[in-house]
Every structure is written in structure tokens, then in C-alpha cells.
Chain A
């Protein structure tokens, strides 16, 4: 009888130790509760969007009012379909899920300079994706239910038409940054380089890497890029550079299994970085404080 109790107590203790170990292991991973409590990675929290799957090219577009929009695959009654997710990345609150009038591919989003219109262009590879065979549609930012076809020039659109864009020789990945004083070019098929407005090279930030995500530049002048980490770590990492001189500001090495699903993006004030990940048909959005 006593021996039976001892065995039961031992099994219970073992289960408790196992559960505690599992909780500690989970918590110590990037953005786990221990990681957040100790402030190791700078992760502030994670929000979850069920039934949302971003792709590598789902680049979030700030809407100018604290909200952001992403083109993602969404779970619908008809299966997974392309749609727009409007959300507040700080709080995680959803502002709506809208169907896209596009056939396949991942759309690229551009907000007009006055902040009233959202241009939705076909992916770089798949063109003529609108129902009428066009390459882009436009909608009012405050009503993403009504779309109109709009002509665009070239398949490598990197900014809203009419706004400053880098010369074509810098490839389709190049973007203008720091209020037009810098050009950030390359990243996947070419090295990631920082140039001044005249095209003079300031610094090579990273080697070319087809697995790396497009870099994002904050309003406060920090470049962030997600890329695969060292193979032995088994997770992805974030790297940060100063947009003025290209100096590296820091890195966040993700724990094993911490994999990005879409490019990181900044809050409008540059204080927070958001990192989309995926998990069983849901998008996880990790929030980090800026380095």
C-alpha cells in the first residue's frame, strides 16, 4: 500500500518536473514568456491571427493611421483564398478581412502619397492577374471593397506610381529610403547594398541570399532584414543597420524553429518591429522593440 503511494507520488513528481521543463523550454524560445520576462531578444509579445497564412512576398503596408494591411491567403468557406488583412499590429486588433479581385499570386501593396488610395499590383512573376487581364487595381484606403483596374508601367513596381523610385539598373528590389537620401538595393540575387541618392555605394550590408526577406527601413532610420541563421541554430535571425552609414546595429538570433514567413516591418514611429511567422494555419506576429 505504502509502496504504491510512493510510486504514485514519484510518477506525479516526474510528470510535474516534465511539465515544468517543457514550460521552461517553451518559455526560453524566442518570444517565449521567459525570453520576454528577461528581455533577452527584445520581444515584447505575440499576437495570433487564425486562418491567415502570409507568404514570403507578403509585405505589410502601413495605412498611415496606425493600422497596416497585408496581402495573405485566408481561410474562407471556399478554402484558402487571397485577401487583405487590415490590422493594428500594436494591439493585434483586426480591422477586417477583404477579398481580393485577383487570380493567384501574391499582391504587392502601395499607399498613395496622400494616404487615400491603396494600389494592389500583381506579383512580380505572375502578371495580368486582375479579372480583366490588367496588372493592378486600386481601392480607397477606407473602403477596400470596391476596386477599379488601373494601368501600371513595368512589372517591377517598387513604389506608388509618381513617387520617387530608384533607377532601373538597381534591380527590382531597390527602394528609396531616408526621405530620398538613400537607396537600398539588392538582397536576394545581388548583395544588399546601401547607396546615397547619387548612386554612390556607402556600404555592403549583406551578401546576396535568395532565402533572405526584403529589408525594411524605419522612420527613425534603422534597416531591418530577416534571413536564415546559422544552420546549427535551426532558426532565422534579424539584422539591423543604420540607414545613414550602414553600420550594423545588432542582431537577434532566433531559437530553433523560429522561422519567418514574411518580411519584418516597422511601426510607423519606428519604435517597434513586427515579425510575421506561421503556425498551423495561423499567422503569429512577434513584436520587438527597436534596437
Chain B
């Protein structure tokens, strides 16, 4: 009897330790279904097209964007969101790089802060693809194939990922959405968002600005037309501002905020966008 009790206690302890060590997005957390996190992986292993997009990039991405056909991925980084690139991370530039579906880096460029000064959140411009995927907008317009500047004037990004002013109520279009965040959760000035590929849903990422509190970030997914809340994830880890809707899965990709330093890497996580995942 005593041995059986000891064995049960041992198993419970091992299970608890395994969960604690692996975290809510670790193996034990996924078995338990905790936190809605589906997967954790590195930027170099970002899965976007069914296979692994093995980039040669490390870092904490500021913005992640996929081309409309899903064959290319653009990433921006700056002094806060580091990229490991040839020549290192330059503090007075926001850097943009483009990868093809095999993970080969086609090109990278730096946009000087004196040309595109970052705002109070550290963002210098909105990164995006043209509807055809041939042009990357990053303060100016770049040819997606070559990385050459094709329009030197500042160009508004047509990308559906937009930042929204943080407030009790947000308006992604005509609909008003009330963000259900706990009392005392004060986010950054702006919320990051990503629209689903069909344009019907919006994923909103709210990150706690600073200070104590277990909840560090929250993802809320709403139906845009009705405003109905479809999924809510409360996350107890600090996140970078990047959020991306997975092109094949019903899920969004976010990046953990590592140390803001050259050589820092960032773990990506996948969160379910609805009941289907």
C-alpha cells in the first residue's frame, strides 16, 4: 500500500516536473492542451508551405510577412528586434530581408532611421507585399525578386496586417471590438494584428508594456463582420510584436521576445485561431 502511494506520488511529481520544464508549449503542455499553443519552433524552422522553411536567419523579428502566394517571406528587424546578418545588426537602420520558400535569403537591405525614423514603438514603417507579390513595401518599394528600389517615395503599405491604437475598444474597419483584457493589463501604444487569408477574421496581439503581472501577452481572434470572439489565448511569456497568420493551418504565429541583443534568437509559437485546430 505504502509502495503504491509512493509510486503514485513519484509519477505525479515527475509529471508535474515535466510540465514545468517543458512549459505550456512544450511536449507535456501540448499533451495537456494548455494555453492553446500548438507548436514551438525556431525562426529557421518556420513552417509556412507545408515543408520547413529553413532560413539562415536568427533573431527577434519585428514584422513577419508572407507573399500572397506563400512562396516568399519578408522579415524586418531593427535595433530592438535583432537579425543576425552579414555585417551584424546596425542600430541606426531598420533591416529587411526576403527569403524564398527553400529558405534561401534572396536579399537584405537597410533603411536608415534618418530616412524612416522609428515611432515611439520602435517601428519605422509597415512591411508588406503588393497584391501580386512582386513588390515589397518597406518605407520605399523594392522589387521582390532583386531587392532593387523601384519607387523611392514613401509608399503606404497595402498589407492587411495593421497596427491598431490600443484602447478599450478597437475598430478594424466598420466593426467595433471590445478587447477582453484583465484589469491592470496596460498594453503598448498600439496593438499588432493579422487578418486571416480569407479576410474574414482578425487576430489581435496585445503585449503588456511593463511591470508585474503573470499575463504578459494576449491573442484575441474575432470574426470581423460580427465582432464575435472566436479564440482567446492568454500567454505568460513576453512576445515580440510580430504576428503572422499561418497560410495553411488555422493558426497564427508569434515570436517570443528574447534578449534584445545581437545574436539573440527567438522561438516562434503557433496558436490556434479557432476550434478547428
Cβ-defined contact, B210 with A74, below 8 A: yes
Complex: A101 Cα to B189 Cα, angstroms: 7
Cβ-neighbour of B260 out of A51, A74, A78 (below 8 A): A78
List the one stretch of A3-11, A90-98, A183-191 in contact with chain B.
A90-98
Consensus secondary structure, chain B interface: loop
**Contact bitstring A81-94, B, C-beta under 8 A = 1, else 0:** 11100000000001
**Contact across chains for B189 and A103 when beta carbons are under 8 A apart:** no
Docked CA distance A145–B167 (Å) = 7
**Pick from B118, B211, B239: contact of A51, CB under 8 Å:** B211
Instruction: List residues of chain B with CB within 8 A of the CB of A82.
Output: 120
**Which A164-194 residues sit within 8 Å CB-CB of chain B?**
none
Residue in contact with B188 in the complex, picked from A51, A99, A103, CB distance below 8 Å: A99
Whether A99 contacts B209 in the complex (CB less than 8 A), given A77-B240, A78-B80, A78-B122, comes out as yes
Contact: B211 with A99, CB < 8 Å? no
Bound-state CA distance A138–B137 (Å) is 33
From known contacts A51-B210, A97-B209, A97-B210, infer whether A78 and B257 are also in contact, taking CB-CB under 8 Å.
Answer: yes
Q: How far is the CB of A103 from chain B (nearest CB, A)?
A: 6
**Across the interface, do B119 and A74 meet the contact criterion of CB distance under 8 Å?**
no
A131-B239 in contact given A96-B184, A96-B211, A145-B166 (Cβ < 8 Å)? no
Q: Are B211 and A103 in contact, CB atoms less than 8 angstroms apart? A: no
In the complex, how many angstroms separate the beta carbon of A203 from the nearest chain B beta carbon? Answer: 42
**Across the interface, do A145 and B186 meet the contact criterion of CB distance under 8 Å?**
yes
Closest beta carbon of chain A to B166's beta carbon, Å: 6
Q: Which of B201-258 contact A (CB under 8 A)?
A: 207-212, 216, 238-241, 257
Cβ 8 A contact of B209, one of A74, A94, A102, A103: A74
B80 A131 Cβ-Cβ under 8 A? no
Closest Cβ of chain B to A25, distance in Å, is 31
Which residue in chain B gives the minimum CB-CB distance to A51?
B210
- Cα A78 to Cα B264 in complex, Å, equals 12
Q: Does B117 contact A (CB under 8 A)?
A: yes
Q: How far does the alpha carbon of A97 sit from the alpha carbon of B239 in the complex, in Å?
A: 17
A77-B216, A145-B186, A146-B167 as given contacts; A101 in contact with B209, CB under 8 Å: no
Residues of B within 8 A of A146 (CB): 167
A-B contact pairs, 16 of them (CB 8 A): A51-B210, A76-B188, A77-B207, A77-B216, A78-B81, A79-B80, A81-B122, A81-B209, A83-B209, A98-B209, A99-B121, A99-B209, A99-B210, A101-B120, A101-B189, A145-B166
Given A96-B184, A99-B188, 7 extra CB contacts under 8 A = A76-B188, A77-B257, A81-B122, A97-B210, A98-B186, A98-B209, A101-B120
| Interface residue ranges, A against B (CB under 8 Å) | 50-51, 74-79, 81-83, 94, 96-103, 131, 145-146
